[in-house]
Structure 1
Amino acid sequence: MDRKAAEKRIKELHNLLNQYNYEYHVLDNPSVPDAEYDRLMNELIEIEQRFPDLVVPESPSQRVGGEALSAFEKVEHESPMLSLANAFSEEDLRDFDRRVRQAIGEDYAYVCELKIDGLAVSLRYEDGLFVLGATRGDGTVGENITANLKTIRSIPLRLNEEVTFEVRGEAFMPRKSFEQLNKLREEKGEMLFANPRNAAAGSLRQLDPRIAASRHLDIFLYGIGNTRNLAVATHSESLELLSRLGLKVNKEWKKCRNIDEVIAYIESWTEKRPSLPYDIDGIVVKVDSLEQQEQLSRTAKSPRWAIAYKFPAEEVVTQLTDIELSVGRTGVVTPTAKLIPVQVAGTTVQRASLHNEDLIREKDIMIGDWVVVKKAGDIIPEVVHVLTERRTGEETVFHMPKHCPECGSDLVRLEGEVALRCINPKCPAQMRESLIHFVSRNAMNIEGLGEKVIGQLFLHGLIKDAADIYFLKKEELLKLERMGEKSVNNLLEAIEKSKSNSMEKLLFGLGIRHVGERAAKILSEHYGTLDDLMKATDEELQLIPEIGEKMSDAIVTYFGSEEVKQLIDELKAAGVNMTYRGPRPSSQTDVESIFAGKTIVLTGKLEKLTRGEAKEKIEMLGGNVTGSVSKKTDLVIAGEDAGSKLAKAQELGIDIWDEEEFLEQLEH
């Protein structure tokens, strides 16, 4: 076979194998026996081995998993992968429906979908080719698991059309695959996976794709990251589009005209749930119209146009052997039940939340009681009630202490709160927990400064607040247990690196009540510097979308503290950056006029900016970044190795800039 014949046959085999794969893994209706598929795959592999330069990333032969990775790269999602608010009862669902009606009126519909119990992932396609797959991560940044996702045979490596977009889905392990995996692990004497969800997540986070390939995972796709350039007006139309493109969509979704139909759908699947070959933990309810979704908007954490109904929790009986106390970074003293280990909702539970003293009294909980514990999905286990009929008389009443278990200070109950608090700002427990939060990955991200090291630093009196971290000396750290020269050098390097973090990382790390990651980013974008934020009033803060009364009050109170002002001054003296380093809305109309209202496509590799950074800068200046070139495109910014998009732009006569010209225009 010569090269020309090989090229032709490879194309034929791609088409045949993709078709047979789609029939088997998506339609569940194979037209040929497995032996025929295997024969064609072997033929393809044989030809590719003879002509290795003809192997392309979308070849069906590339699903088996390549070389192991040393680490996962970070990936920024084109639009945030938000988590959903939860509903646990019919009342919660009707409250959600009432809020929808109040916002958009009476003319609307819902789409209900099974909530697959797996791992949320994002797939990026460019011109119809699967180029990138990532975990949800924190919703903004995930991990690149492309090689592992390619091993899932229901994910097409090439779509039926040359579409460029980001699609979201849930990767999962079917029950049959889970049973086979645990049986194999048991035979090998290995620890068993607690449930299919954990097994799926563990499989997709393996650095060796061959392990993921052996686990027989599957996926359902349920949404598109940005539908702006697609001819769809509703969520139901987007599901139909995904199916037409060759992506696997769960067929059990249903369009409902009102909340009564939604509740009937949920009741039906509550009964039918055990008959499915995969796990579901609830039903997702979404407003169908994309325009109405936009109108309803979202909170800092979740969209207002969707809600996840969670199935009733699983309950088990076990014995409560003790009650432990912990002090959080806000000073709240929380009691936790210690239990005889028991399996519930697919995991081993040894502790359960008791929340506060009032709940312990209300439920008449005593140490030594036999109790009913419930857990649903990721919800923290809790004690439902006590089996008082099983009491022997040896149980003991639990009393909350009057003094902090860490520092001995008086505990207080603030007006309007049920929790007991330690209000000593020097309480070691609060300081430790605050510092653990400050150095965490989503805050200042100081690698090597974990819980144990912080404990040691406290014990030796080397740190008392966040600023002290930046004045640590090498000779002090070398005296700590298990801290050799290499570890200390790496830690000091990580501390130094964290000084240059953008303002939102510092703001989140300070641990202000009610200020999460997204709020920290919004505030940083708005004010630009910590000094300007510290001057803000309650009224000014509440003018910012997504900043409510509780949050504004907490911010003003926090920065009004003399201790906090002193801490900020110490951090400044240490050289910690206090400025937002991302793109901010510009007031320069001459700059805005270059990009405002224009449709722009980024293609190829940029040297000085990531695509995400370039996209943010354009959108901040009023431009609209899309993934595909069309007659509506105003401008293409082309980096190195720009391919078909650049060629199409040239063919259509669209303006084309290189990165240098783009950067020059940004500076004008």
Structure 2
Amino acid sequence: MLRIWITIGLYLATRLASADCADLPAKADIAALAEQVLHWDQAYHEQGHSQVPDDVYDQALLQLQRWQSCSPAPSPAYRPRAGKQGHAVSQTGLAKVHTQAEAADWIKPRTDLWIQPKVDGVAVTLEYHQGRLVRATSRGDGWQGEDWTTTVQRLPAVLQRWPQSIDLVLQGELYWRLSNHVQSRDGGAGARSRIAGLMNRQQLADDELADIGLFVWDWPDGPAQMTERLAQMTRAGLDTARYTLPITDLRSAQTQRQHWFSTPLPFATDGVVLRQSQRPSASDWQAETPYWAVAWKHPPQRALARVRDIEFGIGRSGRITPVLQLDPVELDDRRIRRVSAGSLQRWRALDVLPGDRISIRLSGQTIPQLEEVIIRTTDRTTVNVPDPTRYHPLSCWTSEDGCRDQFLARLEWLSSANGLDLRGVGPGTWQCLLNTGALTGMLDWLDTRALPPTCGNQLAGLLQPATERGFLQWLRALSMPPSGDAVLPEQWTVLAARTQQDWETQPGIGPHRARQLVAFFNHPQVESLRARLAAAGVHGFAVSG
């Protein structure tokens, strides 16, 4: 169903009335968001193209409405093209609820309720005269739309004759047929853009016509009771009854909503529609949100989040990772406060700055993932970025100025299961030693006499197994470059003596990796670590005479 820039409904109005206006952005940012929403609406209505996912659009629109409730000012709003053909019965819009609490508030005072999937397609009005389909009209502005009669009369999915010779009006959704489509897994699959694009064309091939389906979601001038409307539509050959089911309370609505969200359907959906059986006479319908039906959107797959700050983490290899600090947002029952931008290169390409609003989603249902910048703040204040030329795989073997992050990352790797596997020694241990001044070099902790008691009375015992670890395990712990299937004698001097050509003769070692290995074994700070390990009696690190 088409988006409509609507007068805010009862539930939205309640939320906006209590909106927090303490953190209102600059007026230029409010105006920029209004322009962005206008641009999205134009693309959606006029080109059939959703430039952002529906859940991101909904959140952006809600944010704009909150800002405007705090700072009323004229702003552009999209008005759908009216078209030239009037609707026999006005097409209403739908107010939206997004949470269980809002759905419960809508359901509680009502009886004889029904639920339908909110099919993601394009709305159409079908008019029958003496049982024959005579006119089809796009939604347009709800009062008038485009004449789709010629195309719709060729659609196999559309009932061309009603069983009885009566006049009637049906309203429904033309959709692009999908096979084994699971909304929670597949998302919108571009289905709405596809059907909108087809309906905007003058000529359609037979196979394209066959791939267009129809879901009739209402019979405005039909029988007063839903059960009788559904019975007659079923006898006419429509599948409305299959997807129009009775509900008694919030729980039954939740169950059916989740079922349609997670099981195969022949169409894409973006939520469910809750309907009363009883509604006004068709002549009283208006092109605005009705009181007898509401859309309950699917759980959002994405969240719109404001970037509060940007921090730059430096890993043990010297890779710089921008981490966006966010105003907390909820997504799939998780509270998300930060998200990685992946790499310095991607962060620069996205041009993310504090104040921007970004789209995030969960990767594998657990890890927040940055998708794109949705709204840019007008204040493009730059941030201080670490110099990428300073950090590399052989930098920061000590806690010198500017090296804390990479130094700690080296230590965390060293004690992890990938390194020396020191049980009970983790990031907190190394941070404590660093904060107390007990640690300036990678291996200062080998002298257990200097360990502060504030970092744990058992720490010396936890670190003691390190000197008993084997030569090859120590090489991994020190972040020696990957060596493929190369033969590694357990003697430092032999490995340090290898040239690039020597390394390239080993299986799995190419020129680039060979250069890295030569640089590692001959780096002055790595040599200092070797000497420290030799002094501690670790096998393989002594220099043979």
Fold shared, TM-score > 0.5 on shorter chain? no
Which TM-score bucket, shorter chain as reference? 0.3 to 0.5
- What TM-score, normalized to structure 2? 0.40
Larger-gyration structure (1/2): 2
Higher relative contact order (CA 8 A, sep 6+): 2
- What TM-score, normalized to structure 1? 0.33
